[in-house]
Homo-oligomer: A and B are copies of this chain.
Amino acid sequence: MRLALAAVLLALPVTAASQEAAEPPTPASIVAAAPASHWKRIDPADLLVMDLAPDAAGKPRRVIVQLMPPPFSQGWVENIRKLAKAHWWDGTSVYRVVDNWVAQWGDVDETKPLPEGVSEVADGPYSTASVAGDEDTIVLWHPRTYLDDAYSDWAWFVDGWPVAYRIEDQTRTLSSWPTHCYGSVGVARSVGSGGTGSELYAVIGHAPRQLDRNIAVVGRVIEGIEHLSVLPRGTGEAGVYEKPEERTPILSARLGSEMSDPPRFEYLNTESPSFGDYVHIRANRQDSFYKVPAGGIDVCNVQVPIRRVPAE
């Protein structure tokens, strides 16, 4: 496993910008040197901008979620768009926070009527499957560049998102699914239900990958996760706050496309050479602090570079 991984990562070319530098490249230097063509804009229509009530010192708290693109979780994502357009989250709250687990928001009583057209989505599947292939196809499926993964056959990135893959021996299908990492946003649900997307959580601890393929991952927090991760942990059942006054009110949640001046972001294209270099150097740190390069990295420790940009 180690050899396969090391070989793949070491085989990645390191592009000119980092080779020419006097200091060894770092993840930050690779990101800084990546040309404009290696970045992709995030459509404001794919942002959910959520404003919590100001903190005790009166400081605003904005949490920005990027919604998951097709082919994953689109039933829930469509519901989330409808909920945002209906201003459904306005006046709800963050009502559950569990250390090294999640912060969860929505309607704590689950009695608030849902907007027209928002209903429960079927309880899975939470992965997608390709058509079945023969032995030759299966060999071709395995990519040249990938990360070793304790939860799947391999992991890599698609359109900027961490994705895990498994070849199902029985059916000879290739299945893939979005992974639960720090900052991932998922749909809270009860047993036997897929949930609607009105009750959401963000991961605020070590990647709870056992939730993969068991809950819909619908997005990730790309700015302001600290407004959720610092909230007091709930002391009621399952970490729900015991008293209403412990909750953090949600003032509003809007799609970026409904704002007059939405925040603008871009991400490092995960198909670009710069991203390959970035993963390689994250897995093999060469700067002076590091005595022993790790020689590998797990998909949730990669953190796809995302940054603010001015309006076009």
User: A residues engaging B (CB < 8 A)?
Assistant: 1-2, 5, 56, 99-100, 123-124, 126-127, 147-153, 166, 181-183, 191-192, 205-210, 212-214, 225-226, 229-233, 282-283, 285, 288-292, 294-298, 300-301
Contact = CB atoms under 8 A, between A and B. Distances in A.
A99 B204 CA distance: 9
A295 B1 contact: no
Contact of A206 (B124, B295, B301): B301
Nearest to A300: B206
- Looking at A123, A183, A231, A282, which has the most chain B CB atoms within 10 Å of its CB? A183
B296 A150 contact: yes
Nearest to A229: B99
- Looking at A183, A225, A294, which has the most chain B CB atoms within 10 Å of its CB? A294
Contact of A205 (B124, B182, B210): B182
B288 A209 contact: no
Contacts of A126: 291-292
A210 B152 contact: no
Contacts of A192: 288
29 contacts: A1-B1, A1-B149, A2-B152, A2-B166, A56-B56, A99-B229, A100-B225, A124-B291, A124-B292, A126-B291, A148-B148, A150-B150, A150-B297, A150-B298, A151-B295, A151-B298, A181-B206, A191-B288, A205-B206, A206-B300, A206-B301, A209-B294, A210-B283, A210-B285, A210-B294, A213-B292, A214-B292, A226-B233, A230-B231
A233 B285 CA distance: 25
Contacts of A153: 1-2
A282 B210 contact: yes
Contact of A210 (B207, B290, B300): B290
A309 to B, nearest CB: 22
Is chain A's binding surface mostly helix, strand, loop or mixed? Answer: loop
A243 to B, nearest CB: 12
A106 B21 CA distance: 35
A153 B3 CA distance: 9
Contact of A212 (B100, B205, B294): B294
Given A291-B213, A294-B212, A226 B150 contact: no
A206 to B, nearest CB: 4
Contacts of A208: 301
Given A166-B2, A229-B99, A290-B210, A150 B151 contact: no
Given A1-B153, A100-B183, A100-B229, 13 more contacts: A2-B152, A2-B166, A123-B291, A148-B148, A151-B297, A151-B298, A181-B206, A182-B206, A205-B206, A206-B206, A206-B300, A207-B301, A298-B298
A292 B207 CA distance: 17
Nearest to A225: B99
